[in-house]
């Protein structure tokens, strides 16, 4: 018992860094619009009238205010080549800027166009795919920085909130539906032939609405009106992630999640009491290390005002924008106690012995041959617990409290257990 009490004390008293402010643009009256990080540690932010740049992970900053209204999207296809889009000054209305020197200088790229853009993807082979701003939304593709930018119209669905290109063939978009559209009952559609033909993703229900993130070509996450969703088969099927707060008295809201791998991701969460949608409470930035099956509340600063556009360089180094400021963490935002681990017991499984010393058994696993499993320590670290025929050797683990999650198409099961 002394060991377990010591483990709990260690978990609650560890000193760690957290999210903290690294930059404020004092002349701005609005908020930053987009964040991009290059693989060599440069951080870019576009504001209403400025492109901001840091070459040292956000410690020091410079900015370029030469382009009127600025832009709403910044994306780099290499450490030196990047683009800014959408909402420049009248002289460059809906045009694009390009840099080939890592953001030190920018120049207009391509012809002026009148096409309003909601989302855009710049691809390494100088092809650009964009979703228009108007309802219904058209998705178009063309060669970038050439005399004719937009060459072909691919599809229409309503109003696209997010457009994601996974590879040379596969792309997704999600957003509002358009009644005349054949996909009107689904808010997420998919193309497997580079946008020439589209199909419903999943069964059309309980799929992303506002945004998606794809850590791999097969595994994706998204947020709907009140829930988060996940796919492990490139959008053939989606399933709802469990509510980490295990609470039926509130409606929970989530921003588009940011995942740096199949297991590790971040999301901003909020909630309001059922029937009182005007009384929204910010819950902070959540972090998962088991693919969304369980979450931790990270350590945000006092006076937290929401987190937007969470963007990560790796599992621990991430940024978000809030109220004209940029915040950074170097250790995943710090980790606290796991959120609810008692709900979502929808599978017929039994774990024993508990406490355990050298081995652990989960009875009923044979009924779920395609189950995926993960185990974490009380501090949130993934631990190696391999179940074969329902039994795992845990002799190598130090004494403490652990959590094992089993995920299947039929549901999710989670159980705490103690290693003596």
Domain ranges of the chain: 16-329, 350-419
CA separation for the pair 271, 265 (Å, rounded): 20
Looking up tokens 């012809």 gives 111
Question: Which helix (H) or strand (E) element contains residue 308?
Answer: strand 308-312
Confidence of residue 220 (pLDDT cuts 50, 70, 90): very high
Residues 6+ apart with CB under 8 A from 182: none
pTM, 2 dp: 0.73
Tell me the sheet residues that pair with 258: 266
Distance CA(7)–CA(4), nearest Å, equals 5
**Rg (Cα) of the chain, in Å, rounded?**
23
- pLDDT score, position 335: 63
359's enclosing H/E stretch is strand 359-363
Using pLDDT thresholds of 50, 70 and 90, give the confidence band for residue 217: very high
- Please write the tens of the pLDDT for every residue from 119-176: 888 877 777 787 776 666 666 766 666 544 445 566 666 778 889 999 888 999 888 7
pLDDT of 303 reads 78
Distances (CA, A) of 382 to 84, 246, 263, 343: 38, 22, 10, 20
Poorest-pLDDT segment among 194-198, 240-244, 321-325, 340-344: 340-344
Give the residue among 241, 235, 273 at the shortest CA–CA distance from 257.
Answer: 241
16-329, what's its fold? Methylamine Dehydrogenase; Chain H (2.130.10)
Sorted by sequence, the CB contacts under 8 Å of residue 37 that are 6+ apart come out as 43, 44, 311, 312, 313, 319
Chain centre distance of CA 299: 18
222 sits in which H/E element:
strand 220-223
Tell me the CATH number for domain 350-419. Answer: 2.60.40.10
Of 385, 231, 221, which is closest to residue 295 (Cα–Cα)? Answer: 221
Cβ atoms 207, 174 nearer than 8 A? yes
- Is residue 147 classed as helix, strand or coil in its secondary structure? coil
The predicted model gives 52-76 an average pLDDT of 85
Q: How many CB atoms lie within 10 A of CB 79?
A: 13
């Amino acid at each position: 018992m002394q060991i377990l009490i010591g483990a709990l004390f260690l978990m609650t008293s560890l000193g760690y860094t957290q999210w903290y402010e690294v930059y404020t643009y004092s002349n701005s009256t609005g908020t930053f619009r987009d964040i991009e990080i290059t693989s060599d540690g440069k951080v870019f932010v576009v504001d209403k009238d400025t492109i901001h740049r840091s070459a040292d992970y956000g410690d020091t900053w410079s900015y370029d205010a030469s382009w009127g209204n600025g832009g709403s999207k910044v994306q780099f296809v290499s450490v030196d080549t990047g683009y800014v889009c959408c909402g420049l000054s009248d002289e460059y209305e809906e045009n694009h800027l390009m840099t080939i020197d890592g953001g030190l200088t920018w120049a207009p790229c391509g012809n002026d166009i009148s096409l309003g853009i909601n989302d855009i993807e710049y691809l390494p082979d100088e092809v650009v795919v964009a979703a228009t701003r108007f309802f219904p939304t058209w998705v178009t593709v063309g060669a970038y920085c050439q005399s004719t930018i937009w060459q072909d119209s691919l599809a229409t669905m309503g109003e696209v909130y997010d457009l994601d290109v996974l590879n040379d063939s596969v792309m997704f978009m999600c957003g509002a539906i358009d009644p005349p559209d054949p996909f009107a009952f689904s808010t997420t559609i998919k193309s497997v032939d580079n946008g020439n033909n589209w199909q419903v993703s999943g069964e059309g229900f309980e799929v992303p609405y506002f945004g998606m993130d794809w850590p791999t070509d097969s595994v994706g996450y998204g947020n709907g009106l009140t829930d988060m969703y996940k796919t492990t088969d490139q959008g053939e099927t989606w399933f709802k992630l469990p509510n980490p707060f295990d609470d039926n008295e509130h409606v929970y809201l989530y921003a588009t999640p940011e995942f740096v791998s199949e297991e590790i991701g971040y999301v901003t969460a909020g909630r309001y009491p059922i029937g009182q949608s005007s009384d929204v409470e910010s819950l902070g930035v959540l972090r998962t290390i088991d693919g969304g099956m369980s979450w931790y509340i990270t350590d945000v600063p006092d006076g937290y005002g929401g987190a937007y556009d969470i963007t990560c360089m790796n599992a621990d180094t991430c940024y978000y924008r809030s109220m004209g400021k940029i915040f950074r963490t170097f250790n995943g935002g710090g980790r606290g106690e796991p959120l609810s681990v008692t709900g979502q017991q929808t599978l017929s499984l039994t774990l024993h012995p508990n406490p355990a010393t050298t081995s652990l058994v989960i009875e009923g696993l044979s009924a779920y041959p395609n189950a995926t499993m993960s185990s974490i320590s009380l501090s949130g670290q993934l631990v190696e617990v391999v179940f074969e025929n329902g039994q795992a050797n845990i002799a190598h683990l130090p004494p403490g409290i652990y959590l094992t999650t089993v995920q299947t198409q039929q549901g999710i099961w989670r159980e705490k257990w103690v290693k003596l």
